[in-house]
Amino acid sequence: MKNKEIETSYFILAPYAFFVKGARRGALYDVKNGQVFAVNAEAVPVVEQLEKGATFEELRKINYDLDNKEILDFLLLLKKNKLITSNPYSKKWKISPPKTLLKFIWVEVTRRCNLKCIHCYVNSNSCSNEQNYTTKLKSENWVEVIKDAHSLGAEAIQFIGGEPFLMKGSELLNLVKKTKDLGYKFIEIFTNCTLLNEEILDFLTKHNVAIATSVYGNRAEIHDAVTQIQGSFNNTIQNIEKILKRGIKLRVGIVEVGLNKPYLNETVQFLERLGVKKIKIDSVRPAGKALQFYKEKNFLNTNFKQKQLPYFSKFSYEFFSRVHYYHNCFGDKVCITDSGEVLPCIMARNIILGNVLNDSLKDILIKSKEIRELTKDKIEKCKNCEFRYCCFDCRIKAIWPNKKLISAPTECNYNPYI
Amino acid sequence: MKKLELKKVTKTLPLFNCNPDDQCEPTIGWPCHPDDCIPAGSCNPDNWSCSPDGTDDD
């Protein structure tokens, strides 16, 4: 487009482009391509005018300090990034609430575990392999809960523990089979991979069940120091090799727990050499045994600073729409524990929304509107930040220790006010 | 320096081995969600030296 044409044209934001104003600046969201663009304070009134539609002449009147070239260049930049159009009749994309109450559930089938990981998010006393351990939810309860969640929209499920394969007998596999029959599209078991055998691997292969696991180091002395069980590294790695050989879907998380920090890159490389495709470095949350890390100043200093990255990942139109109505996690996910408690996140051990032994899952979700609808428009600082619809908020970290549910995120360095 | 500025601030994060079309979609847990795929910004928007090496990737 030539300069002369621009001067005589009409412009409006593209139907998939949304402007969000912050305390001082703004952001333009391209929800079609999942991109976000920062807009400086001087450009805010110009973009606001473009939201309504404007000619070059009308834009010039906004600020006479701006020369023609400045406005022309800005329009060209918007045009280059496909953020504006000259079609006044283009139909704006809608920001609609999700159609279902749920998308994903964590099913915490047992708190028992054969490992003793130093950062376990479950209360430390429950992590031991207690002989007298009992679970309140029986297999028939689990089937009902999983069925209810599916009727509320959940299509993805993760079985987790403790160690889920410590469920009695073949209960877990029976439950997974029933889940599959219900029509769940994605089924994953989060396991430490120490208890797998040929029968289990056959089952996972046959029913297309995915596996997620954690590896803490590239050597036994690192991994076993975290799990506190000698031999766990060899066991896990041997089973990872079997999983890969069978082509079972696998994700591996490397949870950073301080002592393995120097070996993170080596661990990623080690896993890549094994053939693992999906690897992610994760951090601990202030829950269960991991609280000890949050109480240690040194750990806070290294880990909280680690993620002050000044940019955002691509986001989806669905994510952008959803976070206008719901919290990015609490809105469509819940965890159900083996005692029937419903938590808005598996790490939110102290936020109990209800119990499926007393109320239906649907009633529990309806009653927990305040938590589920905790959008960033209600959270301190976020509500005045222009990036509030592409940023990811972890409330569990934000509210620790003893902060309000709406406290500003602890890890965010961005200041929308200056 | 331009008075009217537009700066793309969406990038992939190789540090976390994130694939925006896959792992960063906060649909499935890790067990909890991959929040480090979508971190909050810490750059100073007035100087726009946002990327880790201080350069824009455009």
- Predicted confidence at residue A265, as pLDDT, reads 92
Is 70 exceeded by the pLDDT of residue B53?
Answer: no
Are A313 and B18 an interchain contact pair (Cβ–Cβ within 8 Å)? yes
Chain Cα centroid distance, residue A235: 29
Restricting to A residues 358-417, those with a Cβ less than 8 Å away from any Cβ of B are 387, 390-394, 396, 409, 411-414
What's the whole-model pTM score?
A: 0.84
A138-141 contacts, C-beta under 8 A, 24 or more apart:
A139/A171, A139/A174, A139/A175, A141/A340, A141/A356, A141/A357
Is 50 exceeded by the pLDDT of residue B54?
Answer: no
Over range B8-37, report the average pLDDT. 44
Is 80 exceeded by the pLDDT of residue A3?
Answer: no
Over range A287-302, report the average pLDDT. 66
Restricting to B residues 1-58, those with a Cβ less than 8 Å away from any Cβ of A are 2-13, 15-18, 20-43, 45-46, 48, 50-52
Q: How many degrees, rounded to 5, is the angle at CA A252 between CA A115 and CA A100?
A: 100
Is 70 exceeded by the pLDDT of residue A158?
Answer: yes
Is 50 exceeded by the pLDDT of residue B32?
Answer: no
Are B5 and A42 an interchain contact pair (Cβ–Cβ within 8 Å)? yes
Over range A153-168, report the average pLDDT. 92
Model ipTM over 0.90: no
Adjacent-strand bridge partners of A278 = A251
Are B8 and A35 an interchain contact pair (Cβ–Cβ within 8 Å)? yes
pLDDT band at A277 (very low <50, low <70, confident <90, very high): confident
Are B16 and A281 an interchain contact pair (Cβ–Cβ within 8 Å)? yes
pLDDT band at A182 (very low <50, low <70, confident <90, very high): very high
Q: Which of A346, A390, A391 sits opposite B32 (nearest CB)?
A: A346
How long a stretch of residues is chain A?
418
Substitution target in A309, A379, A391 with the highest count of B β-carbons within 10 Å is A309
Contact of A268 with chain B, judged by CB distance below 8 Å, is answered with: yes
CB neighbours of A19 closer than 8 A, spacing ≥ 6? Answer: A13, A26, A27, A28, A29, A39, A47, A48, A50, A51
Alpha-carbon separation of residue A362 from A300, A332, A342, A350, A367 (angstroms) = 38, 12, 11, 20, 9
A365-384 pLDDT, tens digit per residue, is 999 999 999 999 999 999 99
Is 90 exceeded by the pLDDT of residue A308?
Answer: no
Adjacent-strand bridge partners of A210 = A188
Are B46 and A40 an interchain contact pair (Cβ–Cβ within 8 Å)? yes
Three-state SS for chain B is CCCCCEEECECCCHHHCCCCCCCCCCCCCCCCCCHHHCCCCCCCCCCCCCCCCCCCCC
Substitution target in B28, B56, B57 with the highest count of A β-carbons within 10 Å is B28
